[in-house]
Amino acid sequence: MTEAPARGPYAKSAARRSEIIASATAVFGTHGYRGGSLRQIAKQLDLSLTTVMHHFPTKVSLLAAVLSQEDAADTDFSQRAARDGFIPTVLAIVERNLGRRELVRMFTVVQAEATHADHEAHAWLRARYADVIPEYAAAIEYDRSLGRLTTTTDAVMLADLAIGMWEGIQVRWLADGTDPVAAMRVALDALLLPTPVSAAGR
Amino acid sequence: MTEAPARGPYAKSAARRSEIIASATAVFGTHGYRGGSLRQIAKQLDLSLTTVMHHFPTKVSLLAAVLSQEDAADTDFSQRAARDGFIPTVLAIVERNLGRRELVRMFTVVQAEATHADHEAHAWLRARYADVIPEYAAAIEYDRSLGRLTTTTDAVMLADLAIGMWEGIQVRWLADGTDPVAAMRVALDALLLPTPVSAAGR
């Protein structure tokens, strides 16, 4: 079934929302969430502040929309990891991120600010770790049960480290272009495949 | 020989400078460099803006002073690594950083912002990578020549990864207190000691 294209005022409103979210991603990625303002975002889009506030009445409501773009991108992680394996699935996301530089930068800047307990995104950041780490740990355990990974280290620690190294490697890429896919491949292999799979069963 | 304590206007001026640098570290760590202002820093110290600007005429001159605290801390890295080994030397710094949380946070926030090519600290960030990576790579090579490390991966790649994982692991610590020393130990061992040293010579 083909969906009828959205039309009229609703479609226009959805397009405007997306435009505001894209502009907020760039502004928060440059000035941080705290340093960015609805006024800057309106100016960048050549809109009135009233128009922006019609869609996002507060800066924090816009932050929530900006951050949910990130979450929405990887809803099928577990299924993909079960099918393709943890390492190839993570590497595919790192590779896809090459085309979403400003989103990754926004995420990096807001995450750094949000380590503060009184930051508006602090609860989001903690919830994100609490969601993602068990999901990654389960994917690592599953791969191990199939003999696809040879590490014997605790799976939660491995999930922590995979996420930590990923974030650090992406900062470097944002700073000077160092290939994050090659770096993640070496790091994940060292962490998760300490002895080649072919030798592991002996 | 005991140094005579600095006295009079010079000592007072040096103390004031340190006080301003400490306050700027907290303000930049919370609001970012771009979101922070000399006015906020003056207010936090209950000083006039004129007094702050007497010591640091521009925000960027204060940024340079704030960032140089970080660099000054590890000038003897190479000597320590040659003596104690790369892994113990890095772990000692991670451990020391537990007591410098706001400095680490400031560094994390400013680094994320500074990935932008037009950021005031962008050149500093690139120069830092250009300095630290060869230094770490040389320490890894030296350890390898002594048989203290068993990895055969390219030393520059290993230095890149050690720094990347370190930064990511510290973000996690800042966010929710996850022990960065334990995480770095597992990560560095996986990366640099893929087979135990005792078995490596066989």
Q: Which two tokens stand for residue A201?
A: 């069963």
Tell me if chain A has a CB within 8 Å of the CB of B102: no
Considering only CA atoms, which of A34, A112, A169, A170 is closest in space to residue B172? A112
pLDDT score for B12: 82
When divided into structural domains, chain A yields a total of 2
Most A CBs within 10 Å, among B152, B161, B193, to test the A interface? B161
Domain boundaries, position B84: 73-202
Same domain, A186 and A95: yes
CA distance A57 to A49: 10
Same domain, A87 and A134: yes
Burial of A22 (0-12, 13-18, 19+ CB in 10 A): middle
Q: Tell me: do B96 and B63 sit in the same domain.
A: no
Q: Which residues of chain A are within 8 Å of residue B34 when distances are taken between CB atoms?
A: 30-32, 35
- Looking at the fold, whether B112 and B181 belong to one and the same domain comes out as yes
| Tokens 């600290």 sit on residue | B121
Which tokens belong to B82? Answer: 């040659």
Distance CA A163, CA A142 (A): 18
Give the 3-state secondary structure of chain B: CCCCCCCHHHHHHHHHHHHHHHHHHHHHHHHHHHHCCHHHHHHHHCCCHHHHHHHCCCHHHHHHHHHHHHHHCCCCHHHHHHHHCHHHHHHHHHHHHCCCHHHHHHHHHHHHHCCCCCCCCHHHHHHHHHHHHHHHHHHHHHHHHCCCCCCCCCHHHHHHHHHHHHHHHHHHHHHHCCCHHHHHHHHHHHHHCCCCHHHHCC
Q: How far apart are CA B77 and CA B62, in angstroms?
A: 25
Return d(Cα A80, Cα A35) in angstroms, integer: 37
Note whether A32 contacts B34, CB cutoff 8 Å.
Answer: yes
Q: Are B53 and B120 members of one domain?
A: no
pLDDT classification of B200: cutoffs 50, 70, 90: very low
Among A66, A94, A114, the domain boundary falls at: A66
Lowest mean pLDDT among A90-99, B71-80, B130-139, B159-168: B71-80
Q: Judge whether residue A78 has pLDDT over 80.
A: yes
- pLDDT by residue (tens digit) across A154-167? 999 999 999 999 99
Task: Give the closest of B30, B125, B172 to A164, CB-based.
Answer: B172
Q: What is the pLDDT of residue B195?
A: 75
Same structural domain, A104 and A198: yes
A19 & A49 share domain: yes
Q: What is the rounded distance in angstroms from the CA atom of residue B21 to the CA atom of residue B59?
A: 11
Answer yes or no: is pLDDT of A200 > 50: no
Q: How does DSSP classify residue A118?
A: T
The residue whose two tokens read 């370190």 is: B166
Q: Which of A29, A113, A168 sits opposite B167 (nearest CB)?
A: A168
Which residues 6+ apart lie within 8 Å of B1 measured at CB? Answer: none
Residue B143 pLDDT: 97
The candidate with the shortest Cα–Cα distance to B20, out of B48, B45, B49, is B45
CA distance, residue B165 to nearest chain A CA (Å): 4
DSSP letter assigned to residue A172: H
What is the distance, to the nearest Å, from the Cα of residue A93 to the centroid of all Cα atoms in its chain? 9
Indicate whether B89 and B17 sit together in one domain: no
pLDDT per residue over B20-74, tens digit each?
999 999 999 988 898 899 999 999 999 999 999 999 999 999 999 998 886 666 7
Nearest to B28 by CA among B66, B57, B70, B54: B66
> CA B188, B193, B198 angle in degrees (round to 5)?
140
Cβ of B39 under 8 Å from any chain A Cβ?
Answer: no
Instruction: With both helix axes pointing from N to C terminus, report the angle between B86-97 and B101-113 in degrees, rounded to the nearest 10.
Output: 100
Dihedral (CA of A168, A105, A107, A40) sign: positive
Contact B172 A160 (CB under 8 A): yes
Residue-level pLDDT at B198 = 53
Contact criterion met (CB < 8 Å) for A183 and B161: yes
Report the pLDDT value the prediction gives residue A10, as an integer from 0 to 100.
Answer: 76
Among chain A residues, the shortest Cα distance to B104 is held by A112
Asked if A42 and A84 sit in the same domain, the reply is no
Phi-psi region at B177: left, alpha or beta (left = phi > 0; alpha = psi -120 to 50): left
Lowest-pLDDT range of A42-46, A64-68, B67-71: B67-71
CATH classification of the domain holding B61: 1.10.10.60
Q: pLDDT tier at B10 (50, 70, 90 boundaries)?
A: confident
**Residues A125 and A25 grouped into a single domain:** no
- At A46, the amino acid letter reads D
Q: How far is the alpha carbon of A189 from chain B, nearest alpha carbon, in Å?
A: 9
Distance CA A120, CA A64 (A): 9
Instruction: Give the span between the Cα atoms of A105 and A69, in whole angstroms.
Output: 13
- Asked if pLDDT for residue A168 goes beyond 90, the answer is yes
What's the rounded mean pLDDT across residues A136-144? 97
Q: Is the pLDDT of residue A141 over 50?
A: yes
CATH code: domain of residue A113: 1.10.357
- pLDDT one-digit tens code per residue, B144-175: 999 999 999 999 999 999 999 999 999 999 99
Domain boundary among B45, B67, B89: B67
Q: Are residues A125 and A83 in the same domain?
A: yes
Question: What is the per-residue pLDDT for B190?
Answer: 93
Judged by CB atoms closer than 8 Å, whether chains meet at A191 and B190 is answered as yes
pLDDT digits (tens, 9 = 90+) for B70-127: 666 677 999 999 999 999 999 999 999 999 999 999 999 999 999 999 999 999 999 9
Residue A201: per-residue pLDDT: 46
Put simply, the chain B residues between 157 and 186 with a CB less than 8 A from any chain A CB are: 157, 160-161, 163-169, 171-172, 174-176, 178, 182-183, 186
